[in-house]
């Protein structure tokens, strides 16, 4: 859909596509499915973060209230929160590319 879009547009389109492919017919993800999706699709960002209090807080919130499902907005908040605390983000910030 965004073959000619910018890198950022393609990145967000990919997030939306991955979410939509995993969501139930109501467009929501169970907390267990969210956790599984993060482990399979976002592993590089969460690898090695298990001892960080913020990581534990985010992941434990997915274990609580398992009957409550996440909509896309909630999923994005989890994704951004994990990204911001990730060591990988710090490594990415050090890399400069020119186009």
Give 11-32 pLDDT, tens digit per residue.
999 999 999 999 999 999 998 8
Q: Is the pLDDT of residue 1 over 60?
A: no
Distance from C-alpha of 21 to C-alpha of 27, rounded to nearest angstrom: 9
């Amino acid at each position: 859909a965004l073959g000619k879009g910018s890198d950022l547009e393609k990145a967000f389109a990919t997030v939306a596509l991955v979410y939509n492919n995993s969501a139930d017919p109501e467009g929501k993800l169970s907390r267990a499915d969210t956790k599984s999706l993060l482990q399979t699709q976002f592993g590089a960002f969460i690898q090695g973060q298990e001892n960080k209090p913020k990581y534990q807080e985010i992941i434990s919130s997915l274990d609580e209230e398992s009957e409550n499902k996440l909509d896309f907005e909630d999923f994005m908040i989890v994704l951004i929160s994990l990204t911001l605390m990730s060591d990988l983000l710090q490594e990415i910030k050090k890399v400069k590319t020119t186009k």
